Structure 1
Amino acid sequence: MSHVADGIAWRDPKRLWWPLALAVPTLPWQAGALVHLTGVTAFWWWGPFFAFVLVPLFDLITGADGKNPPEAVVERLEQDRYYRWCTYLYLPLQFASLVWACTQWSGGSLGIVGSIGLAATTGVVAGVAINTAHELGHKREQVERRLSRLALAQSGYGHFYVEHNHGHHVRVATPEDPASSRMGESFWAFLPRTVVGSLGSAWSLERRRLQRRGRRTWSRHNDVLSAWALSVAVFAALSTAFGLVVLPYLLLQAALGIGLLESVNYLEHYGLLRRRRPDGRYERVAPRHSWNSNNTVSNLFLFQLQRHSDHHANPLRRYQTLRHFDEAPQLPAGYAAMIVLAWVPPLWRRVMDRRLLAHYDGDVSLANTRKPGAWLMASRRNASGPVREHRAATNQRSSTR
């Protein structure tokens, strides 16, 4: 289908590929089919292998796509409901595969290792479901907002809907944001800080909203409580239908899904900082405040979440119209590969600290940092070469700010 506006005809070259994202909620079924066909029980771990081995490999093979749709066709492209159905259909597949996983856990034939493997595979579905909820939750249509909350029920992370939209998007790339990681902060230090901080922030935001409306915090009007209640209802229904034996695996897959989301949060704004204006407020969010990646395959599976700079600058833009900006700092690989790197802090700092300092032309005072220490001196030494190499390009980028 071509989109025509102002005499410009344009066809999305990835149009037929967006439904690939719907392969993710079928990962448990894929795992079951592979075990059935081969007899190899290791395939119950198919989800992590798919996400962290195959997707980075396909990214490497296909390369990056930095092309943007013409602005003249953006309005028509956003109105094309084909793209919405690609997100809508994730949910029935998501919950159908969760129910199927419960039948396997309750059957007792998987063994403990196979059951944990299936939980890990289902956790990948839950983590990417949070990304689907992220895409839906930013839209004005009520049906999409409701679907967003439903998608979060599998991971028990419904407060993300409140905190992300009204907390993270306001405080992004500042020391006050629990979802923005700091230079020198490992993922394992970031994880408890962001989980606890985001939960507390969501509760505070919702309490203030209800107070402004003259309503009680502990009431059915509380979006955080209603989200948690939905998760409890889902887990209770599955535990009742299939037995309490499934509950530990439901909790495990939820925890893994949350860990996957927070891994993405960790890398999206690592060390990036918005400056304060003379009036004390932070400058407006710009593309330079998010790390970007144009890797084709991972963008297809994540509804173009990796074009994160445009998302923060324009939260209402739909995934098919998100743009690449030259001024946005670029990750060296797609999210799948970078998540694995984030789990190994020495490797992460070796790769990313030098890129971050190069982005700021070697001036660490411009970065969002934790308390300086030995790691900072090491980062400066490691980054000195790349800073010199990138100085000209970075100065050109800074002149456009």
Structure 2
Amino acid sequence: MTTSLNQDTTAAAVDTSAEELQRWRDKKKLLWPLSLIPATAAFLAWGLVELTGIGAFWWAGFPIVFGLIPLLDMIIGDDGENAPDEFIEELENDPFYRWVTYLYLPLQYGGLLLASWLWASGNLSVLDSIGLATTVAITSGIGINVAHELGHKKEEHERWFSRIVLAQSFYGHFYIEHNRGHHVRVATPEDPASSRIGESFYRFWPRTVRGALVSAWEIEKNRLERL
């Protein structure tokens, strides 16, 4: 009797699990394109200036990244749900997620080309030019996160996308150091990307930027010596 009851309970649990898997969907799938907002900062700045005539909008990168994005985070809310393991391969092969990531690249460089055209036009004041440069810089800085994801992929073209995204911010060494340095030495004193216990952001930031460059240089130097 006990064995039969246990079998029934196990079967019911399996059926429930299978039913949950069948019902699982990425409920926020259509919100993923919002991650491209920082890539459009230069276009938004230009559009707002054209629409209003207010030059302060050339600095739109700041309110977009440090105002609009956090506000959207608050509105959308936390999401602690992870996809079931059975769905990981399906999600990885879903072109929707890949193209959301890919699209950051043309938007980022499209913004740079737009800004270059605006600077070359000679119609911007020095202050407006600095504001636009800051907005473009913020876009390329956020691009490091995109490059991080692409740099972990197996496909060669995605790794090249990672390098191209990093080129604008002059942070190409991240591709080398992160994959062959950080992931080997993570959470050790030798890892420049791991903060120390009690270390403030303002101490960590210059140390990690300098340390990552030195580390990448050493890693690549050693690789070339082995050839």
Is TM-score (shorter-chain normalized) higher than 0.5? Answer: yes
Given candidates 203, 218, 223, the residue that maps to 1:189 is 203
Preserved CA contact (<8 Å) 1:167 1:205: yes
Using the alignment, how far apart are the partners of 2:30 and 2:54 within structure 1?
Answer: 33
Letter in 1 for 2:39: P
Aligned to 2:90: 76
How many residue pairs are counted as aligned between the two chains?
209
- What is the deviation of 1:185? 2.8
- What is the deviation of 1:129? 1.1
1:57 aligns with 2:71: yes
Report the secondary structure of 2:60's partner residue: helix
- What is the deviation of 1:86? 0.9
% identity of equivalent residues: 57
- What is the deviation of 1:6? 6.2
- In structure 1, list runs of 5 or more residues that go unmatched: 215-401
Aligned to 1:140: 154
- The CA deviation string for residues 333-371 of structure 1, in whole angstroms up to 9 with x for no partner, is xxxxxxxxxxxxxxxxxxxxxxxxxxxxxxxxxxxxxxx
Report the secondary structure of 2:196's partner residue: coil
Aligned to 2:182: 168
**What RMSD in Å do the two structures reach over aligned CA positions?**
1.7
Aligned to 2:41: 27
Using the alignment, how far apart are the partners of 2:86 and 2:224 within structure 1?
Answer: 41
Letter in 1 for 2:90: R
Given candidates 99, 122, 127, the residue that maps to 2:136 is 122
Letter in 2 for 1:14: K
- The CA deviation string for residues 241-277 of structure 1, in whole angstroms up to 9 with x for no partner, is xxxxxxxxxxxxxxxxxxxxxxxxxxxxxxxxxxxxx
Preserved CA contact (<8 Å) 2:39 2:104: yes
Preserved CA contact (<8 Å) 2:42 2:135: yes
Preserved CA contact (<8 Å) 2:39 2:108: yes
Letter in 2 for 1:109: N
Aligned to 2:80: 66
Report the secondary structure of 2:161's partner residue: helix
Using the alignment, how far apart are the partners of 1:53 and 1:89 within structure 2?
Answer: 23
Using the alignment, how far apart are the partners of 2:174 and 2:197 within structure 1?
Answer: 24
Using the alignment, how far apart are the partners of 2:18 and 2:218 within structure 1?
Answer: 47
1:151 aligns with 2:165: yes
- What is the deviation of 1:115? 1.0
- What is the deviation of 1:59? 2.1
- What is the deviation of 1:84? 0.6
Preserved CA contact (<8 Å) 1:167 1:202: yes
- What is the deviation of 1:187? 2.7
Letter in 1 for 2:204: F
Aligned to 2:29: 15
Using the alignment, how far apart are the partners of 2:116 and 2:74 within structure 1?
Answer: 35
Letter in 2 for 1:66: G
1:108 aligns with 2:83: no
- What is the deviation of 1:211? 2.5
Aligned to 2:7: none
1:89 aligns with 2:141: no
Letter in 2 for 1:71: D
Using the alignment, how far apart are the partners of 1:114 and 1:77 within structure 2?
Answer: 43
- What is the deviation of 1:60? 2.4
Preserved CA contact (<8 Å) 1:6 1:72: no
Tell me which protein shows more helix as a share of its residues: 2
- The CA deviation string for residues 126-167 of structure 1, in whole angstroms up to 9 with x for no partner, is 011111111000011111011111111111111110001111
Letter in 2 for 1:166: R
Aligned to 2:4: none
- What is the deviation of 1:208? 1.7
Given candidates 56, 59, 68, the residue that maps to 1:45 is 59
Aligned to 2:6: none
Preserved CA contact (<8 Å) 1:152 1:158: yes
Equivalent residues in 2 for 1:286-365, closer than 5 Å:
none
- What is the deviation of 1:77? 1.5
Which of structures 1 and 2 has the bigger CA Rg?
2
